[in-house]
Amino acid sequence: MDLQERIAQQIRQVLLSFVLLGGSLVCSETWRYSVAEEMEIGSFIANVIKDMDSSVEDLAARRARVIFDDYKPYLRLEQQTGNLVLNEQLDREALCDITTPCILHFQVLFENPLQFFRAELLIKDINDHTPMFLDEHILLKISEGTTPGTSFQMDSAQDLDVGRNGVQTYTVSPNPYFHLNIQESVEGRKYPELVIDQSLDRENEPEIILTLTALDGGSPPRSGTSLIQVVVLDINDNAPEFERPVYEVQVPENSPVGSLIITVSATDLDAGINGELSYSFSHISRDVRKTFEIHPISGNIHLKTILDFEIIQSYTINIQAIDGGGLSGKSVIIVQVVDVNDNPPEIAMTSLTGLIPENSSPEMVVAVFSIRDKDSGDNGRMICSIQDNLPFLLKPTFKNFYTLVTEHPLDREIRMEYNLTITITDLGTPRLKTTHNITVVVSDVNDNAPTFSQTSYTLLVRENNSPALQIGSVRATDRDSGTNAQITYSLLPTQDPHLPLASLVSINVDNGQLFALRALDFEALQAFEFHVGATDQGSPTLSSQALVRVVVLDDNDNSPFVLYPMQNASAPCTELVPRAAEQGYLVTKVVAVDGDSGQNAWLSYQLLKATDPGLFGVWAHNGEVSTARLLSERDAARHRLVVLVKDNGEPPLSASVTLHVLLVDGFSQPYLPLPEVAPERAQGDSLTVYLVIALASVSSLFLFSVLVFVVVRLCRRSKAAPLGVYSVTEGHFPGHLMDVSSTGTLSQSYQYEVCLKEGSGTSDFKFLQSINHNHQGTVNDTE
């Protein structure tokens, strides 16, 4: 015997291995277990590990559980041991009524991977019910002319137990008139018949009392009794006869209470009281008694309660017609219950995963569920479906089990939540359907980098700003959610080693606001560029960058600076004008520059003060000082002019310069001879010599100062920033100064040259001359 068991176990292991290798979801073998009813909760049934040839660790890892067809937890699977134990006391009579054998079907479900094992639980009956007669007092009327051997059918006793524990035999109390015969009905029920052993004598004994006992086959046996009262009647030699020995009728299960099922009829050839018939049920079951009723006179059979095809599909009703003499006729009514589509489909969710990562693999299991319909035929056939245009699929697995899986990877940024409706429709008439709603939430994965609202930003900042001034902001968005969408901003290292970015700007890491750390100077730095980065907090982190260009706007913070004539010279600059000069004679030109740009560097000139206001004039756009009229001998020899240089800023800034003009009589000769006879003329010649010497000194100082000024400016600008610097040619001070904005006064197309010639007794001073060459020329160097 042990050898056979080992061989059977090896065969099961081999079959299980082939099933697993083939990728099947359902084990072909059916496990069979048994248990006696009324056993205590927690009683051991079997160990599934031995049947499936697995380990205890697989039970918890694969989330094993037991599922019965009616979804009730009759058994419990212990994850630690693999034992199947009773989860509740089982009552065979409540579960199966009279059906034998009483088998409950269930499945053992394993996940990861999904696998089913079919199993059956046989519930064994115990003798826990006593036989009972439906009538405790039986009245039996028997004619005295009844011949010996006549039998009288008695109602059978009812025992909820089945098999040997059901009613097995009947006995009657000892008497000389009757004995019992045990008969079996079409359904296999045993019922007693009372058989007359000898003729009755009403005059000798009009009434006989008997005790009928029903015994079951349990150990120890149980018994029930009923009292039989036999009344001896006058002779009646004809028994009633029904029209048909068997009646068949079909009744829809939705028939209302009180509906007429059928009318039976019997006849009796006797007359009088012996011919009066009474209809009644004979040895019927409890279900028949509570479902149907018969009218004793008319023979109409009516419905007492609602029929249910899903519980009982047919009824067998034994009827009898008893005449006034106590004779009876028998017939059978077979009632077939017709199924009606009155049960909607049912759904039971076994496993549900409501949160799906967006990077999950295709065909990921979202839910496992089963469906059923209590109806039969087309009424019990079902169609399961979900909405179209959703990335999910329904796959039938085993029996009425389905799995809901993903069709392809989900994208939370496209859709973060799916509301699925599982619809189960039967094929009955009318069709009934059941719906079940499932919400699937797609969890986020960091698969989107931050995106700036612009690829580049241009920020305008006016110079001389206050430190920590917000100059603008950048903004980036992330399509992810949660920490994957939390963005921090940063300044990226610049590629320009000369740009001190860390000391110029800073950024708020939370909101991307940009701040200027110090005051900016347009004259030192007109614009600069840098990159900002946006990084999320996902794992791994993703980032992007954008270009930020900061343009510094000019402010009128520089006053005009006079290049010529120099105001800090040791000797004042004196311009010589011959008295023979014509109207409009160019005396000199005031040369000035402005460190600002744009309209802040547009310069205008005006004569602020003069010894003789009507003698000289200043050209407003280029600073040229010229005579306004012809000179005369009456005009004073010395004149002092104050010229105002003003820019076009808001508010405007200005500077002034003082010019000294000396009116002389002609000096175009190589030297000015001193007259011998006139002391005033000699004095005038001496003064001329002094003026020439002073003018030469001033011119030299002027050129040196301009050279120093330009060199200093170039050094400062080359150190300030790489953007917007002026380019200066190496060598001596250029003869022509240009305003880079092309708006200053040095861009005028005038050039002047000063020449001091060495000669004998006196020096010859060559006046400034306007040279209308191309404005790109240079001022002649001093010889």
Please write the tens of the pLDDT for every residue from 218-228: 888 888 889 99
Residue predicted with more confidence, 377 or 762: 377
Contacts 24+ apart (CB under 8 A), 385-388: 385/422, 385/423, 385/425, 386/420, 386/421, 386/422, 386/423, 387/420, 387/421
Residues 396, 383: Cα–Cα separation, whole Å: 11
Which pLDDT value is given to residue 157?
83
Each residue of 326-350: pLDDT tens digit? 889 999 999 999 988 888 999 999 8
Q: Does residue 368 surpass a pLDDT of 90? A: yes
Confidence (pLDDT) at 28: 61
Looking at residue 782, what is its pLDDT?
A: 28
pLDDT at 738 (0 to 100): 32
Could you tell me the pLDDT band of residue 572, with boundaries at 50, 70 and 90? low
Residue 704: enclosing H or E segment and its boundaries? helix 679-720
* Lowest mean pLDDT, pick from 95-104, 525-534, 657-666: 95-104
Residue 26, pLDDT score: 57
Residue of higher predicted confidence among 721 and 119: 119
Q: What is the pLDDT of residue 410?
A: 87
Q: How many CA atoms lie within 13 A of 719 on its CB side?
A: 5
Sheet strand arrangement including 365-372? 346-352, 365-372, 401-406, 392-396
Q: Is 680 exposed, middle or buried (0-12, 13-18, 19+ CB in 10 A)?
A: exposed
pLDDT for residue 147 is more than 70:
yes
Q: Which CA distances in Å does 157 have to 138, 229, 774?
A: 12, 17, 140
Residue 408 confidence class, pLDDT cut points 50, 70, 90: confident
Confidence band for 513, pLDDT divided at 50, 70 and 90: very high
Give the Cα separation of 288 and 295 in Å (integer): 15
Average pLDDT estimate for 125-137: 82
* Greatest mean pLDDT among 233-237, 372-376, 755-759, 779-783: 372-376
Give 505's pLDDT tier (boundaries 50, 70, 90).
Answer: very high
pLDDT at 295: 94
Q: What is the pLDDT of residue 686?
A: 61
Mean pLDDT of 427-435: 89
**pLDDT tens-digit profile of 151-165?**
888 888 887 777 777
Is residue 750 scored above 50 in pLDDT? Answer: no
- Average pLDDT over every residue of 59-71: 78
pLDDT beyond 70 at 15: no
The rounded percent of the chain whose pLDDT value lies above 70 is 84
